């Protein structure tokens, strides 16, 4: 069996749904499980709904936009005679109720934001059914089991495996349509796996079902040596070793979600990144291979914050002090992207995610003199050559620079 994943960009309009249906049809001779993200920017919009509702502000216009976009697609797909419009209204109504609920913010966030995938998968399922595909919609929350870390659910692999394996029977005669990004706890509470987590969902299903491959359908021709919107001369890789792809995602390449590679590599399941608009393009295969000389790979990670902790008593930065810093980071679940120390300061760079980072700075300020800068971009040049090494070291506005034998990193003002 195979697993396909379609992201929000592939489902942004009715044309996208037609395209998804035609790709699925072409591959329907073999058992297939399809994972979908929410339509277009629905997840961002749902995040705004939660934020507004929880601040007791008016969120109706944002919710209406979501409703309108889904209605438009349903209309263009000629699904109106179906009960799907009623389903849409019920779901929109439920979103409003959940968003206004009282309680833990992250819990409420998951209950609301997860609905984007429920909506998109429901529409796709109905569209495929009406077009005579033999499909079955399943609720991923009953199969991907997580703990109660809301917004970042940790997968319980044993439980998930048992549940997911039971899908084999359905797969013998039906294509399964399910949601990315969402999971459920043993108490049947909805969780999410972290933003852009649908790729990871596809990897979980594939691993538990021992799939032949996973294909992520995207709006790029494959995995590229840099973001083509930023660098015109970016090239497409035909193939990449798992390790290389995993490291790219670590440095911030957003072509694949960082958690996707590990389970697939462990199970030796190849991951294809294919172009959604032109499936005839070869795409990139990420698998167990060796490549003698990879070209430089350049990753831009925006919205970085550089934090410097200065010791206040004229002593030097020592290990116990670093220990204190790391304790605070780890308690707050903040990931460090790059770090550097000098005699009296320890500096590190993190994703500027609020309110998390302000609270982190507050906690650090109790022990150190803290300085910070935001609006920075971390540029990583992996497998650099002489030309790229020179080019990126002389960029204006460098705040921090670091290089190893294979990797150069510079943190610059955006
Ligand atoms: N819809 C979710 C998000 O936008 C998950 C995903 O797209 O992978 O974060
Ligand atoms: Mg997305």
Integer angstrom CA distances of residue 140 from 135, 203, 296: 15, 13, 38
181 in ligand 1 pocket by Cβ < 6 Å? yes
197 in ligand 1 pocket by Cβ < 6 Å? yes
37 in ligand 1 pocket by Cβ < 6 Å? yes
Radius of gyration of the chain measured on its C-alpha atoms:
23
The continuous run of DSSP H or E covering 18 comes out as helix 14-26
Reported as a pLDDT band with limits 50, 70 and 90, residue 218 is very high
Residue 139 phi/psi, 5-degree rounding, is -90, 110
195 in ligand 1 pocket by Cβ < 6 Å? yes
Q: Please state the three-class secondary structure of 107-154 as a single string.
A: HHHHHHHCHHHHHHHHHHHHHHHHCCCCEEECCHHHCCEECCCCCCCC
- 105 C-alpha to center of ligand 2: Å? 21
**Ligand whose nearest atom lies closest to the CA of 46:** 1
Reported as a pLDDT band with limits 50, 70 and 90, residue 276 is very high
Q: What is the largest CA-CA distance in the chain?
A: 75
Reported as a pLDDT band with limits 50, 70 and 90, residue 355 is confident
Q: Which atom of ligand 1 is nearest to the CA of 199?
A: 8
43 in ligand 1 pocket by Cβ < 6 Å? yes
How large is the average pLDDT for residues 181-202? 97
Reported as a pLDDT band with limits 50, 70 and 90, residue 70 is very high
Asked whether the predicted pLDDT for residue 82 surpasses 80, the reply is no
3-state helix, strand, coil in the chain (%, to 5): 40, 25, 35
pLDDT at 254: 86
pLDDT digits (tens, 9 = 90+) for 134-166: 999 999 999 999 999 999 999 999 999 999 999
Reported as a pLDDT band with limits 50, 70 and 90, residue 132 is confident
Residue 40 to residue 302: CA distance in whole angstroms: 21
How large is the average pLDDT for residues 286-302? 94
Q: What is the mean pLDDT of the chain?
A: 96
Residue 215 phi/psi, 5-degree rounding, is -120, 125
Asked whether the predicted pLDDT for residue 283 surpasses 80, the reply is yes
How does DSSP assign 316-376, residue by residue? ---HHHHHHHHHHHHHTTPPEEEEEE-SSEEEEEEE--TTHHHHHHHHHHTTSEEEEEEEE
How large is the average pLDDT for residues 60-85? 94
Asked whether the predicted pLDDT for residue 180 surpasses 80, the reply is yes
Reported as a pLDDT band with limits 50, 70 and 90, residue 56 is very high
Asked whether the predicted pLDDT for residue 81 surpasses 80, the reply is no
Is-contact 121 89, C-beta < 8 A?
no
CATH architecture for the domain at 2-287: 3-Layer(aba) Sandwich (3.40)
Q: What is the homologous superfamily of the domain 297-413 according to CATH?
A: VC0802-like (3.30.2130.10)
Q: Which atom of ligand 1 is nearest to the CA of 117?
A: 1
Asked whether the predicted pLDDT for residue 354 surpasses 90, the reply is no
How large is the average pLDDT for residues 334-356? 95
Integer angstrom CA distances of residue 202 from 157, 224, 303, 395: 14, 21, 27, 38
pLDDT at 365: 97
Structure tokens at 360: 């982190």
pLDDT digits (tens, 9 = 90+) for 22-47: 999 999 999 999 999 999 999 999 99
Q: Whose Cα sits closest to atom 3 in ligand 1?
A: 196
- 381 C-alpha to center of ligand 2: Å? 25
Residue 139 to residue 188: CA distance in whole angstroms: 12
pLDDT digits (tens, 9 = 90+) for 372-414: 999 999 999 999 999 999 999 999 999 999 999 999 999 999 9
Worst-scoring range by mean pLDDT, 115-124, 246-255, 300-309?
246-255
Q: Quickly tell me which residue has 């490291």 as its tokens.
A: 247
283 in ligand 1 pocket by Cβ < 6 Å? no
* 406 torsion bin: left (phi>0), alpha (psi -120 to 50), beta (else): alpha
Pocket test for ligand 1, best of 36, 195, 216 (most atoms within 8 A of CB): 195
258 in ligand 1 pocket by Cβ < 6 Å? no
CA dihedral 233, 237, 241, 243 (to 10 degrees): 30
pLDDT digits (tens, 9 = 90+) for 222-256: 999 999 889 999 999 999 999 999 999 999 998 89
Pocket test for ligand 1, best of 43, 45, 50 (most atoms within 8 A of CB): 43
Mention every residue, 6+ apart, whose C-beta is less than 8 A from residue 221: 236, 275, 278, 281, 283
Is-contact 140 183, C-beta < 8 A?
yes
Cβ-based neighbour number of residue 106 at 10 Å = 16
Domain ranges for the chain: 2-287, 297-413
Asked whether the predicted pLDDT for residue 185 surpasses 80, the reply is yes
- 42 C-alpha to center of ligand 1: Å? 9
Pocket test for ligand 1, best of 6, 16, 34, 38 (most atoms within 8 A of CB): 38
pLDDT at 74: 96
Structure tokens at 85: 């419009």
Q: Whose Cα sits closest to atom 5 in ligand 1?
A: 196
Mention every residue, 6+ apart, whose C-beta is less than 8 A from residue 269: 206, 207, 210, 211, 212, 213, 214
Q: Whose Cα sits closest to atom 8 in ligand 1?
A: 196
116 in ligand 1 pocket by Cβ < 6 Å? yes
């Amino acid at each position: 069996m195979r697993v396909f994943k379609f992201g929000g960009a592939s489902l942004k309009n009715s044309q996208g749904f037609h395209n998804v249906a035609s790709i699925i049809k072409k591959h329907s001779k073999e058992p297939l499980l399809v994972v979908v993200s929410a339509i277009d920017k629905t997840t961002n919009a749902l995040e705004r709904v939660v934020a507004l509702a929880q601040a007791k502000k008016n969120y109706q216009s944002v919710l209406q936009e979501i409703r309108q976009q889904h209605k438009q697609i349903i209309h263009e797909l000629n699904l109106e005679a179906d009960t799907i419009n009623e389903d849409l209204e019920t779901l929109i109504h439920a979103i409003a109720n959940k968003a206004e609920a009282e309680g833990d913010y992250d819990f409420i966030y998951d209950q609301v934001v997860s609905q984007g995938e429920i909506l998109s998968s429901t529409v796709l399922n109905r569209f495929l059914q009406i077009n005579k595909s033999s499909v079955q919609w399943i609720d991923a929350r009953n199969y991907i089991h997580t703990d109660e870390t809301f917004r970042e659910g940790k997968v319980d692999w044993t439980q998930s495996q048992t549940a997911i394996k039971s899908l084999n029977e359905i797969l013998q005669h039906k294509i399964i349509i399910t949601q990315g990004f969402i999971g459920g706890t043993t108490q049947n509470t909805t969780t999410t796996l972290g933003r852009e987590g649908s790729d990871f969902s596809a990897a979980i299903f594939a691993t538990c079902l021992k799939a032949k491959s996973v294909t992520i359908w995207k709006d790029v021709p494959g995995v590229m040596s840099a973001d083509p919107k930023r660098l015109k001369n970016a090239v497409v890789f035909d193939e990449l070793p798992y390790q290389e792809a995993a490291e790219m995602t670590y440095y911030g390449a957003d072509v694949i979600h960082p958690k996707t590679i590990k389970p697939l590599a462990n199970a030796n399941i190849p991951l294809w990144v294919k172009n959604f608009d032109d499936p005839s393009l070869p795409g990139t295969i990420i698998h167990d291979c060796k490549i003698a000389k990879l070209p430089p790979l350049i990753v831009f990670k925006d919205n970085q914050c550089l934090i410097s902790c200065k010791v206040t008593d004229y002593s030097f930065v020592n290990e116990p002090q670093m220990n204190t810093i790391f304790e605070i980071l780890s308690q707050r679940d903040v990931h460090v992207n790059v770090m550097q120390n000098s005699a009296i300061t320890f500096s590190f760079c993190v994703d500027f995610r609020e309110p998390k980072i302000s609270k982190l700075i507050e906690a650090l300020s109790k022990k150190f003199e803290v300085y910070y800068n935001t609006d920075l971009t971390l540029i990583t040049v992996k497998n650099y050559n002489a030309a790229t090494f020179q080019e990126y070291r002389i960029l204006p506005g460098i705040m921090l620079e670091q290089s190893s034998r294979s990797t150069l990193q510079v943190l610059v003002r955006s």
